[in-house]
């Protein structure tokens, strides 16, 4: 019977005749016997195929090379070897696809930088088998969480003429021939595909709000883009984002939901990617599982921005960036708050309006807005959200103040005129979550094919 390797770990198949397909991770040859370790990616752990010189194909089998694709036939038996429950007593092996001798993944340690250069092969090594499996498992956790709670999944547009964050870091998308633009000396948007200037979305929030006002609760989960020249470990030009939007919900309801959501994902990943998490715990971030398990039980702190600054000022810590009322909170501040002061995730609310986006609800003090950032120990800001401004006049005023082109955004304003609600939402960068879940520090190592300034390979 043809089986995925995962099935061997899920069911008791000892004693059965099986066919297993996969790739050779290792081949230890002895004079009289040999061990071929085969993985197929359906389970983190490989299966050992054992053979000896009583096998009539012994010499042929010994030629099987690292990296090649094979199909092994044999009986699954209890393994006498330590560290594995079972092994396949190999009767026959077929070579599905050979592997050339210049195979880059020789059995030695490779730097992550080197593996990035062969991004098309790296999902075959342990680290990336774990990371990209967890990426898939965490995606499922997210869809399942929302689906089970009556959220509707909305595909907000990627191509857009709206700069949702008002930050002006959009890539432009065009069907114009740039060489012709250069030679003709003018940009003729009438001839461009959409008849106007269009870019790649930086958020789906505004469109998400429109659907939330029809389905009560919605979420997006799709790619977003930032044309920001920022070469850090945590910035990519293309990344996936999750943006729930909830009507009839204020900032407190939002924080409750964020806590519940994060705990759900952690729990789901720990349960559904056990072997992967154990590997990462052992080889990538010590005590990763403990760090995550703690979150399941600890209360999340909730403080105002003003209090956060006060805590930082009173800390007697030497910060490179001096904490200051009315100003942003930097990475070192986040670290102090989550890892030293509270030793837990922290919601920071009521941010100065000048450093936050136009759509956030103005508080009664008229200086702060109902924004909320969730900071987590070891990864800093994980979710950024707010209660949205539902009052038309205040929204218009804020858009003017922040120079948002509100003339073309009547549809967004109209949401406040036609059955508007108290509503809230947040955005979570999916890769930021993965960095937190896997302990892998560089965003380039949690995206299949990372895009950063100057880098768009494959």
**418, 372 Cβ separation under 8 angstroms:** no
* CA-wise closest residue to 336 among 315, 321, 352: 315
User: Half-sphere exposure of residue 88, counting CA atoms within 13 Å on the CB side?
Assistant: 26
Measure the CA angle with vertex 137, ends 12 and 375; round to 5°: 135
Strands (E), 226-293: 238-247
- C-alpha 337/C-alpha 128 separation (Å) is 31
Question: What letter does residue 362 receive in the DSSP assignment?
Answer: B
Residue 439's Cα: distance from chain center in Å?
12
H or E element, residue 297: helix 288-297
Nearer to a copy of itself, 136 or 325 (CB): 136
62 CB neighbour count, 10 Å cutoff: 17
Nearer to a copy of itself, 266 or 446 (CB): 446
For the sheet with 152-153, list strands across it: 152-153, 217-225, 238-247, 423-429, 380-387, 368-376, 346-352, 301-304
Residues forming a β-bridge with 200 = 159
In whole angstroms, how close is the CB of 315 to a copy of itself at the nearest point?
39
Residue 20's Cα: distance from chain center in Å?
31
In whole angstroms, how close is the CB of 218 to a copy of itself at the nearest point?
8
In whole angstroms, how close is the CB of 89 to a copy of itself at the nearest point?
21
Nearer to a copy of itself, 156 or 349 (CB): 156
In whole angstroms, how close is the CB of 101 to a copy of itself at the nearest point?
10
Nearer to a copy of itself, 23 or 347 (CB): 23
179 CB neighbour count, 10 Å cutoff: 8
Nearer to a copy of itself, 44 or 342 (CB): 44
In whole angstroms, how close is the CB of 353 to a copy of itself at the nearest point?
23
In whole angstroms, how close is the CB of 138 to a copy of itself at the nearest point?
10
In whole angstroms, how close is the CB of 40 to a copy of itself at the nearest point?
5
In whole angstroms, how close is the CB of 84 to a copy of itself at the nearest point?
20
In whole angstroms, how close is the CB of 372 to a copy of itself at the nearest point?
21
Nearer to a copy of itself, 170 or 309 (CB): 170
Pairing of strands 17-29, 423-429: unpaired
Q: Which two tokens stand for residue 208?
A: 């998400």
Nearer to a copy of itself, 118 or 362 (CB): 118
Question: What letter does residue 210 receive in the DSSP assignment?
Answer: H
Nearer to a copy of itself, 216 or 317 (CB): 216
Give the chain's length: 458
Nearer to a copy of itself, 4 or 332 (CB): 4
- C-alpha 450/C-alpha 458 separation (Å) is 10
Residues forming a β-bridge with 224 = 239
- C-alpha 334/C-alpha 375 separation (Å) is 7
In whole angstroms, how close is the CB of 134 to a copy of itself at the nearest point?
10
Nearer to a copy of itself, 37 or 338 (CB): 37
Coil, strand, or helix at residue 37?
Answer: strand
């Amino acid at each position: 019977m043809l089986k995925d390797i995962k099935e061997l770990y899920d069911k008791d198949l000892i004693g059965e005749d099986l066919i297993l397909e996969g790739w050779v991770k290792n081949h230890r040859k002895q004079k009289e016997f040999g061990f071929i370790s085969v993985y197929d990616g359906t389970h983190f752990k490989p299966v050992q195929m054992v053979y000896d010189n009583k096998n009539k194909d012994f010499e042929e089998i010994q030629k099987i090379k690292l990296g090649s694709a094979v199909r092994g036939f044999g009986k699954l038996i209890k393994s006498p070897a330590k560290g594995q429950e079972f092994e396949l007593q190999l009767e026959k092996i077929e070579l599905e696809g050979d592997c050339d001798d210049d195979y880059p993944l020789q059995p030695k340690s490779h730097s992550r930088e080197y593996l990035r250069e062969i991004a098309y092969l790296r999902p075959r090594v342990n680290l990336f088998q774990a990371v990209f499996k967890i990426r898939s498992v965490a995606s499922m956790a997210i869809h399942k969480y929302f689906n089970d709670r009556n959220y509707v999944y909305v595909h907000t547009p990627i191509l857009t003429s709206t700069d949702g964050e008002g930050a002006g870091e959009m890539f432009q998308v065009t069907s114009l021939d740039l060489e012709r633009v250069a030679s003709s000396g003018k940009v003729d948007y009438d001839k461009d595909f959409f008849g106007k200037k269009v870019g790649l979305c930086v958020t789906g929030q505004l469109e998400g709000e429109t659907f939330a006002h029809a389905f009560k609760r919605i979420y997006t989960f799709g790619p977003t883009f930032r044309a920001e020249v920022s070469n850090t470990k945590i910035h990519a030009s293309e990344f996936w984002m999750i943006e729930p939007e909830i009507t009839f919900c204020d900032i407190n309801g939002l924080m409750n939901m964020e806590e519940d959501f994060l705990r759900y994902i952690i729990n789901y990943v720990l349960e559904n990617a056990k072997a992967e998490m154990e590997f990462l715990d052992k080889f990538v971030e010590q005590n990763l599982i403990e760090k995550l398990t703690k979150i399941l039980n600890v209360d999340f702190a909730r403080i105002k921005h003003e209090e956060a600054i006060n805590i930082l000022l009173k800390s007697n810590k030497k910060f490179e960036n001096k904490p200051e009322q009315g100003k942003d909170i930097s990475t070192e501040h986040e670290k102090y708050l989550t890892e030293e002061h509270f030793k837990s995730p922290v919601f920071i609310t009521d941010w100065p309006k000048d450093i936050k986006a136009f759509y956030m609800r103005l508080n009664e003090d008229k200086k702060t807005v109902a924004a909320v950032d969730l900071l987590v120990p070891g990864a800093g800001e994980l979710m950024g959200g707010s209660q949205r401004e539902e009052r038309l006049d205040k929204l218009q005023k804020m858009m003017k103040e922040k120079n948002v082109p509100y003339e073309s955004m009547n549809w967004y304003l109209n949401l406040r005129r036609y059955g508007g609600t108290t509503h809230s939402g947040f955005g979570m960068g999916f890769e930021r979550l993965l960095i937190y879940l896997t302990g892998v520090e560089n965003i380039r190592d949690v995206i299949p094919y990372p895009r950063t300034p100057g880098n768009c390979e494959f």
